[in-house]
């Protein structure tokens, strides 16, 4: 885009093609999230029934869930950068097939049976596959979007992608609201299989942003920007091999901006994960929540989040900028955590 908002016709054509390709990615992401999140309202009841049948309180379930998330997080810390780097060499779509396929395995186990032996098999499979599927799916999808969308529009595009993922969360939760426990896992498995098939059939491979870079350079030649070269955003050189732990640590400390972003992400994830781990089991013990009540609660969260990411964020991103928008989001997250911390106090409940 040049001065006065002029865009070269070739750039416009490429943008339309990129939008069509991103549409297929969004469909894949929606199906993936439907399958992944459909089991959220039922997993607490299934875990309690397998580990502590007939009880509303189960310390073992909380410990195992926390252990699973800790192992998954540490594993993703190592695996996700490697997968992201491999996608620079072998392609986003090729590596997206890995989490899309692996996510089917634990769901298929529970779709077959929900007794204790199968639950432990599900637990182990979920722990191992989540190291790859949970972090890598989002990482590779955002890299795919970045390959197709110019830098100035990426914040809004990321917001739309997150909104579609949240819409998948809502769709899966609605389905779980009206399905039995066994049927929920079966339908979730089918949705995950459909996501993997759709990825294979319709999502196109990217060139890792090479054509977009060429178009931006051509546009700058036709319409020279008014900003100086020093104001341009810095670009990191591509890595040529899978990074070692030492290289990952060096990368983390080599940029103050990257370090601060990593610290913010770590503490935000720590708080959100801790809250989600304990909340569902607390509601089960304190208020005897069932699958349908979990679904109603998650629907409220999902619908509001989807509305915010699909409508509010794309509107605010160009006006506020990424940094201010991040501050607003973190402030909202802090308020959310504070309200949850007092919502179940005796002076509130009474």
- No. of H helices and E strands in the chain? 14, 0
Whether residue 88 contacts residue 238, with contact meaning beta carbons closer than 8 Å, is answered with yes
Look at residue 81 and tell me whether its pLDDT is greater than 70.
yes
pLDDT score recorded for residue 228? 43
- Using DSSP's 3-state secondary structure scheme, residue 225 falls into coil
More confident residue, 281 or 104: 104
Alpha carbons within 13 angstroms on the beta-carbon side of residue 260 total: 5
More confident residue, 342 or 84: 84
Across the chain, mean pLDDT equals 81
Whether residue 172 contacts residue 231, with contact meaning beta carbons closer than 8 Å, is answered with no
Whole-angstrom Cα distance, residue 167 to residue 172? 9
Whether residue 104 contacts residue 112, with contact meaning beta carbons closer than 8 Å, is answered with no
Read off the pLDDT of each residue in 28-44 and give the average, rounded to a whole number: 94
Whether residue 328 contacts residue 74, with contact meaning beta carbons closer than 8 Å, is answered with no
pLDDT score recorded for residue 347? 66
Q: Which two tokens stand for residue 230?
A: 């020093």
217: confidence class by pLDDT, cuts 50, 70, 90: low
Contacts of 243 (CB under 8 A, 6+ apart): 81, 82, 85, 251
Range with the poorest average pLDDT among 157-161, 307-311, 345-349? 345-349
Look at residue 233 and tell me whether its pLDDT is greater than 50.
no
43: confidence class by pLDDT, cuts 50, 70, 90: very high
Contacts of 41 (CB under 8 A, 6+ apart): 173, 176, 177, 184, 291, 292, 294, 295, 298
Whole-angstrom Cα distance, residue 123 to residue 125? 6
User: Would you identify the CATH topology of the domain 11-206+248-318?
Assistant: Growth Hormone; Chain: A; (1.20.1250)
Whether residue 112 contacts residue 268, with contact meaning beta carbons closer than 8 Å, is answered with no
Long-range CB contacts (within 8 A, 24+) of 62-66: 62/277, 62/278, 62/281, 64/123, 65/277, 65/281, 66/277
Q: Which two tokens stand for residue 57?
A: 């309180």
What backbone phi and psi angles, to 5 degrees, belong to 91? 110, 150
Look at residue 25 and tell me whether its pLDDT is greater than 60.
yes
239: confidence class by pLDDT, cuts 50, 70, 90: very low
Whole-angstrom Cα distance, residue 118 to residue 109? 7
Helices (DSSP H) in 38-153: which residue ranges?
A: 40-51, 59-90, 92-102, 104-112, 116-148
Q: What percent of the chain has pLDDT over 90?
A: 33
Look at residue 215 and tell me whether its pLDDT is greater than 90.
no
Q: Which two tokens stand for residue 208?
A: 């890792």
Whether residue 26 contacts residue 199, with contact meaning beta carbons closer than 8 Å, is answered with no
229: confidence class by pLDDT, cuts 50, 70, 90: very low
**Domain edges within the chain:** 11-206+248-318
Look at residue 190 and tell me whether its pLDDT is greater than 80.
yes
Chain-centroid distance, C-alpha 335: 22
Look at residue 232 and tell me whether its pLDDT is greater than 50.
no
Read off the pLDDT of each residue in 222-243 and give the average, rounded to a whole number: 48
To the nearest 10°, report the CA torsion of 159, 165, 170, 172. 180
Quick: pLDDT tens for 104-140.
Answer: 999 999 999 999 999 999 999 999 999 988 889 999 9
Whether residue 155 contacts residue 317, with contact meaning beta carbons closer than 8 Å, is answered with yes
pLDDT score recorded for residue 234? 46
The count of other CB atoms within 10 Å of the CB of residue 297 is: 16
Read off the pLDDT of each residue in 283-310 and give the average, rounded to a whole number: 85
Whole-angstrom Cα distance, residue 114 to residue 182? 8
pLDDT score recorded for residue 326? 83
pLDDT score recorded for residue 14? 62
Range with the poorest average pLDDT among 78-92, 97-111, 262-276? 262-276
Read off the pLDDT of each residue in 302-329 and give the average, rounded to a whole number: 81
Q: What percent of the chain has pLDDT over 70?
A: 80
């Amino acid at each position: 885009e040049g001065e006065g908002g002029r865009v070269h016709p070739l750039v416009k054509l490429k943008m339309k093609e990129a939008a069509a390709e991103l549409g297929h990615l969004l469909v894949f992401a929606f199906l993936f999230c439907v399958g992944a999140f459909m089991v959220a309202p039922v997993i607490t009841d299934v875990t309690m029934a397998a580990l502590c049948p007939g009880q509303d309180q189960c310390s073992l379930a909380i410990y195992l869930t926390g252990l699973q998330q800790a192992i998954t997080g540490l594993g993703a810390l190592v695996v996700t950068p490697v997968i992201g780097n491999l996608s620079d060499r072998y392609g986003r779509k090729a590596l997206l097939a890995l989490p899309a396929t692996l996510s089917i395995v634990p769901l298929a186990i529970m779709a077959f049976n929900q007794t204790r032996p199968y639950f432990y098999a599900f637990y182990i499979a979920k722990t191992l596959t989540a190291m790859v599927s949970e972090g890598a799916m989002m990482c590779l999808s955002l890299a795919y979007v970045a390959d197709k969308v110019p830098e100035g529009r990426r914040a809004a595009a990321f917001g739309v992608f997150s909104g579609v993922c949240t819409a998948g969360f809502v769709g899966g939760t609605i389905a779980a609201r009206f399905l039995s426990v066994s049927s929920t896992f079966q339908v979730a498995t089918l949705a995950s299989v459909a996501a993997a098939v759709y990825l294979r059939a319709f999502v196109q491979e990217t060139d890792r942003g090479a054509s977009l870079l060429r178009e931006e350079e051509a546009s700058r030649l036709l319409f020279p920007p008014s900003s100086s070269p020093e104001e341009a955003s810095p670009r990191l050189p591509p890595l040529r091999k899978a990074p070692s732990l030492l290289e990952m640590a060096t990368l983390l400390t080599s940029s103050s901006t990257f370090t601060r972003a990593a610290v913010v992400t770590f503490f935000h994830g720590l708080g959100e994960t801790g809250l989600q781990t304990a909340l569902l089991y607390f509601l089960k013990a304190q208020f005897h929540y069932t699958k349908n009540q979990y679904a109603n609660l998650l629907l409220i969260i999902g619908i509001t989040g989807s509305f915010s990411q699909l409508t509010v964020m794309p509107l605010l991103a160009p006006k506020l900028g990424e940094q201010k928008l991040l501050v607003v989001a973190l402030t909202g997250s802090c308020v959310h955590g504070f309200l949850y911390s007092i919502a179940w106090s005796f002076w509130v409940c009474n």
